[in-house]
Amino acid sequence: MNVLFVGAHPDDIEIWCGGTAALYAKQGHKVFFCIATNGNVGSASLPANEIAAIRKKEATNGAAVIGATLIWLGFDDEFLLDSRETRLAFIEAFRQAKPDVVICHWRSDYNPDHSISGMVVDECIHMAGIPNIKTETAPFLEIPHVYFMDTPAGVGFEPEIYVDITETFATKVKMVAQHVSQNGWMKNIFGYELEAFLEIPARFRGLQAGCEMAEAFRPSYRWGRMFKEHYLPGSLRGPQKMPD
Ligand SMILES: [Zn+2]
């Protein structure tokens, strides 16, 4: 399968679903990381263009840990808007990745870039197949499975499907650790060391799911997307029937 993760900022995918991305990669699926914004406000000391360049390099390194392909959209951090330009950029990303599965942010997450990117994915995924909507790459007609990833500390997010990430948690930590510029910064904002920041929610979701460590998801239910199976790897709820 082709699996497309869409994150608002350069480290989001790794933080909230890096363990699941690592599982997909381990099972031989082709993984894409599409990052909507360039992270250009992610520093208290460096100017916007410098921190954006650093974060693109870090995102490349994070994706490289599992051999994921990076799709970098480059919108300004904290100012992702639901506009024609944004939708066309997302549609082009869908067409490049040709996904069987898309995983995006929850539509009412804590940060507007998260919520808007999740909303644009959920609203616009079917537009990838419409020929009169022109982008560089040809239309992609398949309708993928769409899942929302967890929110920070799980606030306002009631999971329906859990993925056991016990075996890939160390890989997840390694992926997040590539975002060197954000490690001290995150500690200042959230008050946690990197590994604890990842481990606490993983153990909490694991406690809910009946395994050591888990990541949590919800499917997007839309007409035309009411699939009987779901395509999350090694998951702990509901039927699973993934293509080879
Ligand atoms: Zn973010």
CA–centroid distance, residue 132 to ligand 1 (Å)? 32
CA of 191 to the centre of ligand 1 (A): 16
Ligand 1 centroid to Cα of residue 152, in Å, is: 9
The helix (run of H) or strand (run of E) holding residue 116 is helix 112-124
Q: Tell whether the model's pLDDT for residue 184 goes beyond 80.
A: no
Q: Which domains does the chain have, with CATH numbers?
A: 2-219 (3.40.50.10320)
**Beta-carbon-side half-sphere exposure of residue 116 (alpha carbons within 13 Å):** 20
CA of 14 to the centre of ligand 1 (A): 10
Q: How far apart are alpha carbons 125 and 39 in whole angstroms?
A: 24
Instruction: Give me the pLDDT at residue 228, please.
Output: 83
Interacting residues of 191 by C-beta distance below 8 A, sequence separation 6+:
none
In this prediction, residue 240 carries a pLDDT of 78
- From residue 2, alpha-carbon distances to 27, 144, 189 in Å are 12, 10, 34
Q: How far is the CA of 225 from the centre of ligand 1 (A)?
A: 26
**Residue 195 pLDDT greater than 80, yes or no:** yes
**pTM of the predicted model, to two decimals?**
0.96
Q: What is the pLDDT of residue 72?
A: 98
Query: Can you tell me whether residue 161 is helix, strand or coil?
Result: strand
pLDDT at 229: 87
In whole numbers, what is the pLDDT of the chain averaged over residues? 94
Least confident of 118-132, 163-177, 223-237: 223-237
pLDDT band at 15 (very low <50, low <70, confident <90, very high): very high
Model confidence at 224, pLDDT cuts 50, 70, 90, reads: confident
Confidence of residue 7 (pLDDT cuts 50, 70, 90): very high
Sheet holding 145-149, edge to edge: 69-75, 30-37, 2-7, 101-104, 145-149, 214-219, 161-164
Considering only residues 183 and 206, tell me which one the structure prediction assigns the higher pLDDT: 206
Other CB atoms within 10 Å distance of the CB of residue 141? 11
Give the distance (Å) from ligand 1 centre to CA of residue 7: 7
Instruction: Report which of 35, 107, 44 is spatially closest to residue 70, judged by C-alpha positions.
Output: 35
Query: How many C-beta atoms lie closer than 10 Å to residue 84's C-beta?
Result: 8
Q: Which residues surround ligand 1, an ion (CB under 5 A)?
A: 8-9, 12
218, burial (CB in 10 Å: exposed 0-12, middle 13-18, buried 19+): middle
Query: Contact, 196 vs 2, CB < 8 A?
Result: no
Nearest residue to 78 (alpha-carbon basis) of 33, 119, 37: 37
pLDDT at residue 59, rounded to an integer: 97
pLDDT digits over 50-108, tens only?
999 999 999 999 999 999 999 999 999 999 999 999 999 999 999 999 999 999 999 99
